[in-house]
Amino acid sequence: MTRHELAFGTSFLVALVLFACSGADDTGAGNGAAGGAGGSGGLALGGTGGGGGIGIDAGGDSGGGASGACNQAVDIVFSMDVSTSMGPFLNKLADEIEAVDAAVKALNLKVEPHYGLVVFVDDTLFANTAQPYLDVKTLKTDFKSWASFTSSNNQPSGGNQNSTWPENSLDSLYRAAKEFAWRPKASTLRLVIHTTDDTFVQGPITFNGVQIMHNYAETVKQLQDEQVRVFAFASKLGGPSESDDVSQGWFSTVGGSPSLPNATGGGVFQLDDVMSGTVSLSSAIPAAVKDTQCKPYPTPK
């Protein structure tokens, strides 16, 4: 989609502000935004200045032994909107991914973290044949390549150009959950870091010449079946005039169903807070790992 580019912040905060909260929901009110489910309360990790934050499940330990002795592996798939307006975010992520990796590794992991990448506009494409990257430098190179791709206004798999505003987040998330070479769920924290500044199309439908395959309920179920947590960096307003409500599914419910972060025990940040420097990716993503590792996956509702 052709929209104004998000402004770069000249600097960003390395530290996140922690807020104690109870029962994070899908209203997005206050500093702590929609988030974790299934625990006995939550932590809302938010930037200063009223932006969205991550609401993280704070339930008991599971899958990794006693408290303080978590041995879960960590697999992270990046699900990235590569439409025209997303170039600045992808460049920022590329610039910070080595710091993200270092911070994740500093959490005393027993094995190396694995990373994957799926990109989307109206269609979707799984990079590196849905396998983990051999090293973070190769992942960084791909982030830079896709950041450059955004200026083409093309679909990831070729073909027609993108001429519409809703994008295909659902098929990207579905594929991330179903196709990535995840390590066993019983011993692995599985996260998707999903980024978009738009709402999504629900399938099955042909949209802008592309077959959209999955609807919201199917996508939530696939994520839950694979015990994948969604952490989103999303916008509340967007569309051609930048004034349309694009928050549903990220910050609020969809047809009475919980948001994707809430339904999967994940969380959400406002994308603009990352671009303004209020929220740091190299702190937010490791914080998501730290505060969900060895916590029970929420019971589907």
Specify the pairing of strand 188-195 against strand 73-81: parallel
pLDDT at residue 70, rounded to an integer: 84
- Report yes or no: 265 and 229 within 8 Å, Cβ to Cβ: yes
Nearest to 124 by CA among 88, 71, 77, 70: 77
Q: Where are the beta strands (DSSP E) in the chain?
A: 17-21, 42-46, 53-57, 73-81, 114-120, 124-126, 188-195, 205-207, 210-212, 228-234, 237-238, 244-245, 267-270
pLDDT at residue 244, rounded to an integer: 87
For the chain, which residues score pLDDT lower than 70?
A: 1-68, 159, 162-163, 241
pLDDT at residue 39, rounded to an integer: 32
pLDDT at residue 163, rounded to an integer: 66
pLDDT at residue 74, rounded to an integer: 98
CA distance 52 to 218: 26
CA distances 47 to 64, 74, 89, 263, Å, are 30, 24, 17, 22
Q: pTM for the complete prediction?
A: 0.81
pLDDT at residue 100, rounded to an integer: 98
Return the SS3 of 214: coil
Q: Which amino acid is at 242?
A: E
Q: Express each pLDDT in 11-62 by its tens digit.
A: 333 333 332 222 334 643 333 333 433 332 233 343 323 333 334 333 333 4
pLDDT at residue 212, rounded to an integer: 84
